[in-house]
Amino acid sequence: MDPGDVVERFREYLRDHNLPVTHQRVDIARVLLQSDRHLSVEDVTRELRRSGHRAGLATVYRTIELLVKCGLVVERDFGEGFKRFEPARDIPQHEHLLCTTCGRVTEFRDERLERITTLVAETHGYLRQRHRLVIHGVCAACRSGAPPS
Ligand SMILES: [Zn+2]
Ligand SMILES: [Zn+2]
C-alpha cells in the first residue's frame, strides 16, 4: 500500500473518533508509516527533529498508541527494555534478527519455522496459532568492523 494512503487512513481514523487531526499527529504518523525500519519512540522523536518538526514526548507516545490501536502500526518487544514499532504491512508473518552491537533489525521469513512450530505445538497437544522469534546476534557489518549504515 502507498504510504500516503496509510497516512490518509490515519486521518480518517482520527476524524471517525472525533480526535483532532493535528499537524503533529500527522507528522508522527508519516515518520512511522513511511519507515521500513523498526523505530523506538526515541527514533521517532529524532526523525521528527531531523525533518524540522517538533512534538513533545507525550504527544509522540500518545500518537503511536493511536496508530497501534487502529492497526496501522505493530508494536514489537525484542527484550531490549523499550518497544519498537513498524508499519503493519501486508506481510502475514515475519521474524526478526537483532544485532546486539548496533541495534539493526533484519526481517526474514522461513516457512520451515511454520512447519517446525506446528510440529512442536502438536507434540504438546496444541493447535498452533502463531509464534514469535527474535534471533539476537552480531550483524555482518559489525562483524567486519564496518560502521553501521
Ligand atoms: Zn550490527
Ligand atoms: Zn518487522
Q: Look at residue 147 in the predicted model and tell me its pLDDT.
A: 60
From the list 63, 69, 64, 74, the residue with the least C-alpha distance to 21 is 63
Measured from the alpha carbon of residue 132, the closest ligand is 2
Burial 127-141 (b: 16+ CB within 10 A, else e): eeeeeeeeeeeebee
> Is the pLDDT confidence value at 2 over 80?
no
* Cell 471517525 -> residue: 16
Domains (range + CATH), the chain: 3-87 (1.10.10.10), 95-143 (3.30.1490.190)
Please tell me the distance between residue 126's alpha carbon and the centre of ligand 2 in angstroms. 26
Tens digit of each residue's pLDDT (9 = 90 or more) over 60-117? 999 999 999 999 999 999 999 999 999 987 666 789 999 999 999 999 989 898 899 9
- Bridge partners of 107? 96
Which ranges in 99-144 belong to alpha helices (H)?
A: 111-123, 140-143
Ligand 2 mean position, distance from CA 24 (Å): 25
SS3 content of the chain, % helix, strand, coil (to 5): 45, 15, 40
Which pLDDT tens digit goes with each residue over 11-61? 999 999 999 999 999 999 999 998 889 999 999 999 999 988 888 899 999
- Cα 123 to Cα 97: distance, rounded to the nearest angstrom: 27
Q: Residue 20 C-alpha to ligand 1 middle, in angstroms?
A: 40
pTM, to two decimals: 0.79
Give me ligand 1 centre to Cα 96, in Å: 13
Please identify every residue whose CB atom is under 5 Å from ligand 2, which is an ion: 86, 107
Question: Per-residue pLDDT for 133 more than 70?
Answer: yes
Of 20, 59, 47, residue with least CA distance to 11: 20
